[in-house]
Chains A and B, each alone.
Chain A
């Protein structure tokens, strides 16, 4: 266990991320103490730039890091750091070249997305939900992590996160969530 009272006081080494607790993200780079930790501003901006999700979507949420680069959105505010099992919803994996959104985040917040949304027909959506990769040459948008969506009950609904590369859409639906819906 780390004693929070000793953080950052023992000499020259900067504080590090502690995988056993949640730390609130700094609002901006000027307030950053833990090297490499993303800021709230960067996270909000990332969702907007990559998917067109408006910053106002996150107005009521605080952002937290637990584990290296794993970010969580929480509906209120609590003390930081906080040693609990989970805090809100895991939304994003950062501290890597391409940030990766979680299936849960995309299902909950992805309806507001306007960019990098790949709309699938019934058969394609069923393949995606089973966790299968598929050829999808018609997509002419960005490569990388996209939101796979389909039409259901008079609306477009996000299914999960796809990785689009070389004409192929890979499903990243976690094993425990994969389902045969055909």
Chain B
């Protein structure tokens, strides 16, 4: 079965959706303002004769006309980082502030983590965790190239993330026992990356979806528990499957003290609301506040992003 056909009933302009999924994605870079201003990075690209176009919703997110970002002086200096355009959303939704304690539960290879550091102005504490030691080296390499100094890298299973290394239940004045904000950019079936990886759906199966759902629920629940009352948790995936999106949110709403919150993407970025019914199941009506990103709306990859507040 073609997995994307499952979504004919929930996606408007389904033919345009399918056509967009077949087109390759443009190469996009984000300016790392910890090392250079947007104006200076763009001036350096101009001097190198690298053609680009700023997205109409962010002056520091640049679509390159041709070559990848790796072979230019501004990239060498760590002024730029290759990051798929749509994946900029969850860090904007999380909105971390300088001085916050922030947990990125599934951080590697780090494009969203390094964006969080930039939004925090490299201040406060950013916990970048991943359970895959091999992918952690990519996270470290990216953070180093971008000159980030507020990142602590850990290698734990996010479902059982422990603050013990951070002095949990001690009287140390520098201990960390909870975070202000957490990002769960969960491992998923990656349907939305089809434009980047044309073989992304070759291994697709309902069994695989069901196996990652268990992991997603576990990580999101732990993120809510690890975040202080009043704090923010953002849940995102790069897939369309409601089982991995709204159903996971619904599970968190039923089992943990949290509520969906409204969040508006930048003006000019068009999204669709979360769905409340799928395959005979009904979800909490508040999951409508989540954002579905379809490739034909903004010429990006596919994505899902929701903002929660911890209430207890």
Q: Is the CB of B71 within 8 A of A84?
A: no
User: Which listed residue, A80, A107, A179, touches B147 by the CB 8 Å rule?
Assistant: A107
- Determine if A177 is an interface residue (Cβ-Cβ < 8 Å): yes
User: Which listed residue, A75, A159, A181, touches B150 by the CB 8 Å rule?
Assistant: A75
Given contacts A75-B122, A78-B174, A152-B47, contact A104 B145 (CB under 8 A): yes
User: Closest Cβ of chain A: how far from B196's Cβ, in Å?
Assistant: 23
Task: Please measure, in the bound complex, the distance between the C-alpha atom of A27 and the C-alpha atom of B166, giving whole angstroms.
Answer: 21
Q: Is the CB of B151 within 8 A of A86?
A: yes
Q: Is the CB of B76 within 8 A of A181?
A: yes
Residue numbers in A under 8 Å from B123 (CB-CB) = 60, 75-76
User: Closest Cβ of chain B: how far from A69's Cβ, in Å?
Assistant: 18
Q: Is the CB of A153 within 8 A of B167?
A: no
Q: Is the CB of A86 within 8 A of B153?
A: yes
User: Which listed residue, B76, B151, B174, touches A77 by the CB 8 Å rule?
Assistant: B174
User: Which listed residue, A129, A152, A154, A177, touches B145 by the CB 8 Å rule?
Assistant: A177
User: Closest Cβ of chain A: how far from B80's Cβ, in Å?
Assistant: 12
One of B3-11, B136-144, B247-255 contacting the partner: B136-144
User: Which listed residue, A75, A76, A157, touches B77 by the CB 8 Å rule?
Assistant: A157
Q: Is the CB of B150 within 8 A of A179?
A: no
Q: Is the CB of A152 within 8 A of B77?
A: yes
Given contacts A76-B125, A82-B165, A129-B76, contact A87 B152 (CB under 8 A): yes
- Determine if B54 is an interface residue (Cβ-Cβ < 8 Å): no
Write the A36-68 contact mask toward B (1 if CB under 8 angstroms, else 0). Answer: 000000000000000000000000110000000
- Determine if A117 is an interface residue (Cβ-Cβ < 8 Å): no
- Determine if B35 is an interface residue (Cβ-Cβ < 8 Å): yes
- Determine if A137 is an interface residue (Cβ-Cβ < 8 Å): no
Q: Is the CB of B149 within 8 A of A75?
A: yes
Q: Is the CB of B70 within 8 A of A179?
A: yes
Q: Is the CB of B150 within 8 A of A74?
A: yes
List residues of A (123-182) whose CB comes within 8 Å of B's CBs.
Answer: 129, 152-155, 157, 159, 176-177, 179-181
- Determine if B170 is an interface residue (Cβ-Cβ < 8 Å): yes
Given contacts A79-B170, A82-B166, A86-B140, contact A73 B152 (CB under 8 A): no
User: Which listed residue, A60, A78, A154, A155, touches B152 by the CB 8 Å rule?
Assistant: A78
Residue of B nearest to A102 (CB): B144
Q: Is the CB of B166 within 8 A of A78?
A: yes
Given contacts A129-B76, A153-B47, contact A79 B174 (CB under 8 A): yes
User: Closest Cβ of chain B: how far from A161's Cβ, in Å?
Assistant: 14
Task: Please measure, in the bound complex, the distance between the C-alpha atom of A114 and the C-alpha atom of B75, giving whole angstroms.
Answer: 24
Q: Is the CB of B40 within 8 A of A153?
A: yes
Write the B151-176 contact mask toward A (1 if CB under 8 angstroms, else 0). Answer: 11111000000000111001010111
Find the residue from B73, B151, B165 having the highest chain A CB count within 10 A: B73
Residue numbers in A under 8 Å from B301 (CB-CB) = none
Residue numbers in B under 8 Å from A90 (CB-CB) = 144
Task: Please measure, in the bound complex, the distance between the C-alpha atom of A132 and the C-alpha atom of B174, giving whole angstroms.
Answer: 44
- Determine if B124 is an interface residue (Cβ-Cβ < 8 Å): yes
Given contacts A79-B175, A180-B71, contact A85 B154 (CB under 8 A): yes
Q: Is the CB of A85 within 8 A of B35?
A: no
- Determine if A113 is an interface residue (Cβ-Cβ < 8 Å): no
- Determine if A108 is an interface residue (Cβ-Cβ < 8 Å): yes
Given contacts A78-B166, A181-B72, contact A176 B43 (CB under 8 A): no
User: Which listed residue, A104, A129, A154, A157, touches B144 by the CB 8 Å rule?
Assistant: A104
Residue of B nearest to A179 (CB): B76
User: Closest Cβ of chain B: how far from A163's Cβ, in Å?
Assistant: 19
- Determine if A89 is an interface residue (Cβ-Cβ < 8 Å): yes
Residue numbers in B under 8 Å from A129 (CB-CB) = 76
- Determine if B148 is an interface residue (Cβ-Cβ < 8 Å): yes
Known pairs A75-B149, A79-B175, A159-B76 / 4 extra A-B pairs, C-beta < 8 Å: A73-B149, A78-B152, A84-B165, A181-B73
Which residues does A use to contact B, with CB under 8 Å? 60-61, 73-80, 82-90, 104, 107-108, 129, 152-155, 157, 159, 176-177, 179-181
Q: Which 6 A-B pairs have the closest CB atoms?
A: A108-B147, A75-B150, A79-B167, A85-B153, A153-B44, A153-B43
12 of the cross-chain contacts (CB-CB < 8 Å) are A73-B149, A78-B152, A78-B174, A79-B166, A84-B152, A85-B154, A88-B150, A107-B147, A152-B73, A152-B77, A153-B43, A179-B71
